[in-house]
Amino acid sequence: MATAVMPTYARADLAFERGEGVYLYTQDGKRFLDFASGVAVSSLGHAHPHLTAALHAQIDKVLHTSNLYRIEGQERLAQRLVDASFASSAFFCNSGAEAVEAGLKLVRRFHQKNGRTDRYRVVTATNSFHGRTMHTISASRNEKHLDGFLPAIEHFDQVPFGNMNALRAAISDKTAAIIVEPVQGESGINPADPEYLKGLRAAADEFGILLMFDEVQTGMGRTGKLFAYEHSGVAPDVMALAKGLGGGFPIGACLASERVTAVMAPGTHGSTFGGNPMACAAANAVLDVMDEKFLAHVREIGADLKARLTKLVAKFPGVLKDVRGLGLMIGIEFDKPVNTDVVRLLEAKGLLTVVAGNNVVRFVPPLIIDASHVDEAVKIFEGVCADLARA
Ligand SMILES: *Cc1c(COP(=O)(O)O)cnc(C)c1O
């Protein structure tokens, strides 16, 4: 498998030629049920007719013009995201890390332009994941991600996720913002307690600092609401989006409230590709599909999938430990750290999943799955659990 691609990933020896709905197909026609969605990206599944048509139509018009000019699709997308959220503006980029990076810049500038140049530190949570840029690996402080890339950018204060006392104790005169994921994704699908999120909002308001949510994975319907923060009713000041936003086309966004938007002006931040006509055509098509009925479907089928998996925890006590999640962002915790092996076993039986943390298998299927896909996935998963129980 030696290739000229830089060896930064441990890839499965599989290559998909095409996708249709919830299935991916290899060149030799082997079919896989895709409960990975390219890491929670393919929110509408593969070859969704509305998304495909929107991209075809845009290809024939223009691919790229840059942010030197107005982009109609980008203005429309920004307005739709603003109308659906706490925000009053959106900045577009191309990935999750860039969306977080934009937010981390915004929270600094907010304070600097309000006369508080001493406020630049950001409080982060243990087991967080915010991306792979220097800024974002410094925020998450995952030792594996920092290995060989030290020194980390030092202006982050990390506290245990979910611990309100530790959070409040970490806030100082130098604190600019708090950043958390409403449901921690990469580290093992850990939903924040709504009371914790309320506590974060209260602390932010009390100390005059900003609250930023990283909804790169939880946003765009993944948890059964357009944005996960809606479950708790706690609105942030800044929010990063990416993964599901373009349904597979790369696009990220950083949304900001009115007072944060107020400190931005021409020349303060930028991206050559950000929010280009193709990316915005994709995201607008995704939003066309994600109406209230669609989101209700995600909540219902997600609850059904979670209930079915929870039964398996009782059935295979030595193998499975816990099932967690919201909507169609579900993590199954194993008793032992065996997850990559389990993902390979599931793959061999035609089910694609993703690892999270070191003992969790993540089910993040396209949001269009129906009961038959739940049956098929649970059957395969149960078979693998039975094999593991015998082993
Ligand atoms: C995936 C992810 C990122 C990073 O997104 P990239 O597109 O890989 O840069 C950031 N934050 C969260 C919560 C994520 O899940």
- Which positions ≥6 away from 287 have C-beta within 8 Å? 77, 80, 81, 84
SS3 content of the chain, % helix, strand, coil (to 5): 40, 20, 40
Tell which one of 41, 145, 217 to mutate to probe ligand 1, the residue whose CB is within 8 A of the most ligand atoms. 217
Centre of ligand 1 to C-alpha 179, Å, is 13
Q: Using CA atoms, how far apart are residues 254 and 240, in angstroms rounded to an integer?
A: 5
State the pLDDT at residue 337: 85
Q: What percent of the chain has pLDDT over 90?
A: 98
Centre of ligand 1 to C-alpha 7, Å, is 20
- Please name the residue whose Cα sits nearest to atom 6 of ligand 1: 96
Contact 194, 204 (CB under 8 A): no
State the pLDDT at residue 1: 61
| Mean pLDDT value across the chain | 97
Q: Using CA atoms, how far apart are residues 102 and 99, in angstroms rounded to an integer?
A: 5
Q: Using CA atoms, how far apart are residues 377 and 381, in angstroms rounded to an integer?
A: 6
pLDDT digits (tens, 9 = 90+) for 41-82: 999 999 999 999 999 999 999 999 999 999 999 999 999 999
- CA torsion through residues 109, 158, 98, 148, sign: positive
State the pLDDT at residue 293: 98
CA of 184, closest atom in ligand 1: 13
Domains of the chain by start residue, with CATH: 16-47+292-390 (3.90.1150.10), 50-289 (3.40.640.10)
Centre of ligand 1 to C-alpha 289, Å, is 23
Centre of ligand 1 to C-alpha 114, Å, is 30
- What string of DSSP letters covers 139-187? HH--HHHHTTSPSPP--EEEE-TT-HHHHHHH--TTEEEEEE-SEE-TT
Contact 114, 263 (CB under 8 A): yes
- Please name the residue whose Cα sits nearest to atom 11 of ligand 1: 130
Q: 176 — phi, psi (to 5°)?
A: -100, -35
Please state the rounded mean pLDDT for residues 371-378. Answer: 98
Contact 155, 122 (CB under 8 A): yes
| Residue 126 pLDDT greater than 80, yes or no | yes
Tell which one of 212, 243, 249, 273 to mutate to probe ligand 1, the residue whose CB is within 8 A of the most ligand atoms. 243
Q: CA separation (Å) from 369 to 87, 179, 220, 267?
A: 30, 31, 16, 43
| Residue 124 pLDDT greater than 70, yes or no | yes
CA of 96, closest atom in ligand 1: 5
State the pLDDT at residue 380: 98
Q: Using CA atoms, how far apart are residues 44 and 296, in angstroms rounded to an integer?
A: 15
Q: Is 376 exposed, middle or buried (0-12, 13-18, 19+ CB in 10 A)?
A: middle
Centre of ligand 1 to C-alpha 28, Å, is 32
Q: Which residues line ligand 1 (CB under 6 A)?
A: 95-97, 100, 129-131, 181, 185-186, 214, 216-217, 242-243
Single-letter amino acid, residue 252: G
Q: Using CA atoms, how far apart are residues 379 and 89, in angstroms rounded to an integer?
A: 44
Contact 24, 32 (CB under 8 A): yes
